[in-house]
Structure 1
Amino acid sequence: MDTPNEQSGYAGPVLFYNEEVIDHFTNPRNVGELPEEETDGFGLVGDPSCGDQMKLWISVKSERIEKIAFKSFGCPGAIATSSMLTALAKGKSIEEARRISDDDVVEALGGIPERKKHCSLLGVLALQAAIKDWEKRRAAGKEEGK
């Protein structure tokens, strides 16, 4: 039987993704944007001119992530890990979401190829940025309410 490299003529390394990663890549959860009026926090990480980028929106009610959405530009690993990150964060308190690590994302996916582990950090950094934005907006709202 031919390997994927022999079938396609591709000479690079073969990356094998498990079923969970493939599922999150082909059927990403929480993909899209939240409307501005529902957005309590926004995070943007990466640089599309040289690699992966992720935008992440959160809606927070009673200090819990009620809604979360993302758009990622990147490889299958970036899309799958972004999807899983949102699945892990949805419904969590801000403090629980803040503690989600890239290792948690990889573990929830059942592993990813070693050379793609950096992709899992993309979503975590975007979530951290969105939480910081939520905190900033919340503090500004309290200041305005005085």
Structure 2
Amino acid sequence: MAEDSYNLVYSEKVLDHFQNPRNAGVVPDYNGIGKIGDPSCGDMCIITLRVEKERIADIKFKVYGCAGAIATSSAVTELALGKNTDEALQITDDDVVTYLDGLPERKKHCSLLAVQALQQAIYDYWLFEQLKKEGQVKNRQEYDEIREEIRQGILAQYAGYE
């Protein structure tokens, strides 16, 4: 176990995932993306994945955050890689904490961030595939453009409520 300047004790496995994160980056040909932020601490996690035959064939993350956020994001990608989408949706923050041999209590919320980004990426994949199947979009670029237009419309609606 190692302590940081805030007297947080991290397991060797957490430190390993922090210092040597697995699956960092963006899947170039992703078909699912999840973006989650935590306003209370400023952490943000993005997970991209490529699903083939309902199995996660590739998964990567980008994260802005502390050692706990980096380690848990890395761990989530390892836990999800190779699983089918239904199995990956069953991954919980407790699974991540157990996989990493524990996290300081103040850092357990970090594991939820990566799990939520994974869930969002899977739901995004399912929606993209459904719209493609129905002929409403032809490819990922078209889907992303429509999704951004909807997001901008929602933001514009609430711009006056600040």
Shorter-chain TM-score category? 0.7 to 0.9
Using the alignment, how far apart are the partners of 1:25 and 1:87 within structure 2? Answer: 13
User: How far 1:141 moved relative to its partner?
Assistant: 0.8
Superposition TM-score, scaled by structure 1 size: 0.87
* Contact 2:30 2:48 (8 Å CA) reproduced: yes
Q: Structure 1 residues 101 and 77 mapped into 2: Cα distance closer, same or farther (>3 Å)?
A: same
Counterpart pick for 1:34 among 24, 27, 34: 27
Using the alignment, how far apart are the partners of 2:87 and 2:126 within structure 1? Answer: 15
RMSD in angstroms over aligned alpha carbons?
1.8
| Structure showing greater relative contact order (alpha-carbon pairs closer than 8 Å, 6 or more residues apart) | 1
Alignment pair present for 1:129 and 2:120: yes
Q: Which residue of 2 aligns with 1:19?
A: 12
Displacement over 3 Å in runs of 4+: 47-50
Q: Which residue of 1 aligns with 2:74?
A: 83
Using the alignment, how far apart are the partners of 1:41 and 1:111 within structure 2? Answer: 29
Using the alignment, how far apart are the partners of 2:85 and 2:41 within structure 1? Answer: 31
User: How far 1:106 moved relative to its partner?
Assistant: 0.3
- Please list every run of 5 or more consecutive structure 1 residues that lacks an aligned counterpart in the other structure: none
Alignment pair present for 1:96 and 2:90: no
User: How far 1:93 moved relative to its partner?
Assistant: 0.4
Q: What whole-Å deviation, never above 9, does each CA across 1:42-71 have from its counterpart, x for those lacking one?
A: 000005795100011000001000000000
- Please list every run of 5 or more consecutive structure 2 residues that lacks an aligned counterpart in the other structure: 137-162
Q: Structure 1 residues 16 and 31 mapped into 2: Cα distance closer, same or farther (>3 Å)?
A: same
One-letter amino acid of the counterpart of residue 22, structure 2 = R
Q: Percent identity?
A: 54
Aligned length: 134
Superposition TM-score, scaled by structure 2 size: 0.78
